[in-house]
Structure 1
Amino acid sequence: MQFLQPILLWGLLGICIPILIHLWRGKKGQVMYWAAMHWLSTQESSVAKGVRLENILVLLLRILMLVLLVFLLSQVFIPSLSKVSEERIIHLVQPSIQISQEYKFELQQALEKDEELYWADENLTEIEDLDELNLAGRTEDIQAALNQIPYEATQLNLYLSNSQNNIGSKNYLSKIKPRLFLGSADLKNSSPQVISIDGIKTMELNQNGLLDSIADDQSSADGINLEERDFAFYMGNVSTSERLFIKASLEAIQDVYGFDFVENEELDEAKLVFDHELPKGKDSEKLYIISNNFTFSEQANLVSFSDELDFEHSELVQTGKLPEVILERFLAYSGLEQQDVKLSQTQLESRFLVDKPKNQNKKANLNLILIGLFLLCYAAERYFANKQAI
């Protein structure tokens, strides 16, 4: 037995009320005058005190009424009495001909079983025929598709490519834990990207995702240019200990890679903002790193941490990974793409967080029985109370 509103069980303390009333009435007693009363001795004419046995039944009925009322308000749910809902299996496919063909047999079987098939796009487009796939103008949006999955779904099969560039580095919220089916990753052999500061090419991102120094005259097809103003940062409402560790992390990046981060006293002139909450006028041209105030967001220029970025609270600081995380997010925001790598099943599963409200599909299933018992007890209590004139 479960209670969907367990806090209302505190109402059971109310059973003290009828008990105290009965004890008080029994203590006070009731004086009854009759004609020959003055012929009795003082001991014989004393008032009888105590709870009479015929009142115990009324007391028990009143206690039972209060218990039934509290149970009714607390929404009693018994799983064994709940009807088992029909199985509803949903298949969500990343918009890719390669994945749909690779899992064509499984998806075709799902269609034959009248299970639901959808593309993982912003409109959650239904797949009706695997032989006539049309991906023209279809934009992948896994989170938007997950948002439209109904709570009534009993199973979610998600078909994805295990490519870092295709999936991205963000987390996803889902109403139900998905079963992942990974397609073969088609890794692109792109040339290394070059980072240049003020027009001078200095570093490139190698195949391992690390920055390497290169000769100034080395040419490259791909690259991004960072100016001095791109390294200006602003410290908002952060604690003193956070300020020390953030500055130490930026100095560590400067010592290794030569990126000269400079603190700016004016928010408007900074490109990198550290704070505990987003400013009211958020600028899309700035990268916000918000600590001690975790907020799930898909915005590319927002990085959130639930803990303060100091040694006492943050595991990133304790393990010395904070400079690495700041640099990675800063380069990704600046437009530097990581080299494509394969992701394992475990790595992908950790990206999907379940956000299913508690008791979403549970409804009290004893309300009618409790109401019936309450009315029955009320009628019995009124009958015996009127009969005994109490």
Structure 2
Amino acid sequence: MEFLEPLLLWGGLAVVIPVGIHFWHQKRGKVIGWAATQWLTEKNQQQHRGLRLENLPLLILRCLLVLLLALLLSQPMLTWLNAKPAGQKIHLVLPNPFLVDNFRFELDDALRKGEKVYWIVPTTEPTTALTQLPAQQPANPLLVQASINQLREQGTLKQNDTLYLYLVNNAQYRDIPYIHVPAHFLVHAVIDSGSRPVQRYLVASDNGNVFVNAAGQLTNSPTMPSRLRFSTQPVHTGPIAVLLDYRNKAEQQTVAAALQALADVYKIDLTINLNRIPDKPYQWVLTDRLITTPVPQTLYVVSGGNQAPILPTPNIRYIDETLTPQTTELVANGQLPEWLGELLVTQFGLQPATTPLSRVQWNDLFIRSDSSLKGSETTEANTTEQSYLVLLFVMVLGIERWLALRTNA
């Protein structure tokens, strides 16, 4: 049994109150002899020493009322009534050699016990041996969710089962908010140390390298840190062509100044055009006009409150405000160059895509999909138990009142 308000159980100590009142009312006054005293038998004239318990059933009922009231206020939950029988153990494994080798003991033990083991593949295949792995699948979180859904739809995975997930931890899981598991689960995750993330970089105008360092900051350095593994070729060399196509000249001057500040800090060679040059490819277009035919390789930043389409285009970023000090805090607080730097990192993919999640992020990623259902069932069961306790309290109170009136106590 569990209690929602266990501290209120201390109210049960108030049971001493009816006991004290009971003995107080039993106190006798001074004995005064009267004429008919001689007719009393010697037995009734004997003095009784110590405390005597009179109307014992009434005293028990009153103590029981106090205990029931304390129990009601503590809101008990009889969890053993709602307990379900233990289900089976199911293991869902990503067919990654490093992952399988790392948890081979656990998986071999599961197969010996006859527990079900499935591969995370498009068809969610069962297996009885770990000697031959299916074709390795990329660590795609959508594939993990699809495999879980398949087990549930097939009736293999039930609410009282326990699902053991074996996954490789990387940043692809950042792309989704949650992975829903309709059962009890335990996640085993490893970071494949044999494949360090590949870091992309740009070549700056001073021949330095522009990349995101281990602290997650954009930096320019002539040397590459040895603890990071960089790509063999820079993602871009030479000037970055930028087009500022604004009808609002104040906004155009503000954005141009922010781009210049970004170029000065990181020595990035930005070629800024205020008018479009025909047939010239642009890596970056910042405008307050609606984009109708975007070029896939170009990043567009559209400001001024242009309505974003229902199906957004990945390479178009919309911002509601006009980029001037009077219209947005982003400019007024001097954060526009930093924001443009984040867009630069996104445009050229400078942020490592395979950075693993932290322990807290990894634990928060998986949730029970039936949590709301379980909560409602628990609330309903708790309400039923409270109703029974209230009914018992009323019945005991009625019996106590009837007995008290009958005995005039």
Q: Could you tell me the TM-score, scaled by structure 1's length? A: 0.46
* Larger Rg belongs to: 2
Q: Could you tell me the TM-score, scaled by structure 2's length? A: 0.44
